[in-house]
Structure 1
């Protein structure tokens, strides 16, 4: 089953166009190749932070004169993904192809998807095959096309964060070690994931860049707090790996201390039912409002404090977005979150620690509003200086250029006919 949002005929190559555009706030780009590129982004789920990253890159790359396309799962994201892809269509000269892709490894399904990716690469004559997440990384790097596109990989956490130390994690890291041989450039979204690759996958050094997720200038406008706001707000997947059982236990602990707080939980996920049952068991179900996924900025203004109790992360957009919008935050000291907080990371709490989490929530709610808001503004200013969307786009394009320059001359694709 293949769904296509744009014709599969590749547009003519514009040999005179540069690899990267001079973007506001970014030094003049040093990574020109003298031609427009045909870039295919491959990933599984058109949802969450990974999808936002691809959407942002697509817009930046298209505005820089490149031809961009997407290959992703046909069965994930529902109507919201359909709308997002339709909105992105004007930037997708190479269109969108949706193929069935399973979350977990599956020999028959993965082989079929891999052949679908290969067909798309051949149809559009891709110069760059950029895999995102564990599944997209497998398809992009194993795609059986001789020569042709460079293979770029952005993990977005993925298998690197899956139960480190377990046999399954060791298996995944063994696969990553093998796939590294087919990787022209790693574009790690955080120093944390880059370190995990070195520790768990290892192998010979490969061309790599740290390319932090970036935020648009418009996202630094404070959202403010509406009247009758919830005390706490959570935005993200409803999964136990996000630390939500510990958040519910912290809410119960605070209730036992005489604090009757209200929590807004926005998102969906596989553990919705079990989390609802746990809330009932803890006696806090009536203090929680569950709502489906929706744009984050309006949600932020409905809570006094945002809580991110994750057990593992890479460089979560939800934290970047909340910090940019001057939203007071309580977050755990995991993954790339300390990279976002920078000099403010001393206030992060250990994961799986209900006492520390409830204590941090109580302290931030009890402190004077001007102190809380002042710290949020300082973090926003710090994020603005370090996590630019334009910088992200330019760094990715420079990574492509470095990979092309590092290729042996015999492996370089032949120039297109005039």
Structure 2
């Protein structure tokens, strides 16, 4: 089989991808990893990482060149997120959430909206995503936030919960009910909300187990007046757009999980080759070697799943919903397992904040929860199977 066959395009990164990886890895080693422990300890936004990512065009690499972006493909964007997550999971949410927040505009927005907001995102103004509510997490169709038409505007009232980088981002894609009488899920529309909009405020920062450097807050809407031209797509199409967005962006959470797991494996591998017990390095013990082998094997399986899903995202393949869910689910479950094993390999040291693996274990947990819990991912996959939309090869 030749090197240029379509099948190999699925599984081999290009020279450009690997050059990108090397560039991001160097930046992370210099500008991200050295601050990761302090960012976690102080629960402070990783501003040094933010500034470095913006100056290097890695904070929103997915934005097309037509809107002043670098036009990175889906796999390249995943590589950026993966490499940043190896050093600091909180920092990796900068490019990940910028894609999540702005992708609805890219997929369904008017040309005017794209021209209005995407260049500003490229210039460094963040974009977050407001879908979940207190009583509408996995059940997004039951949301209560309302957008009521009033002349040339919509008036937005309600709240959104668990919003990543809330208060830091300048722009927010927000889903709200515009037609309460419509069939379930059919009366929801999407809007761009600006941080400066009157009546739009934020709740207190959540006190979290992990990703402490990425602020998570509620979005609060007290009769926020939004011009009608900030609606993304047609009225009533918001939920379909939101779910279509998640098909693509779940792949980036898989990439984040792979990066966290790789960082934990890297550190554990170095540790066991230095730590001595019973007169020899603990890496010489077969039990330790078996753990390392299993960690690396599972990590590579997850990485390949993420990369294949990223290729499908780029092509917008019909079976992306299955692969996006599978990549996110497999990678996050794997990251949780690998980070727990990394803590085990370090023994008592692994349980202390003097070493980064306990932080990585805490950070890994959220990848099993956000952008759809892994139970929901399994529902998505099962429904695709039962509908005949994913066929065994």
- Same fold per superposition (TM over 0.5): no
- TM-score, normalised to structure 2's length? 0.25
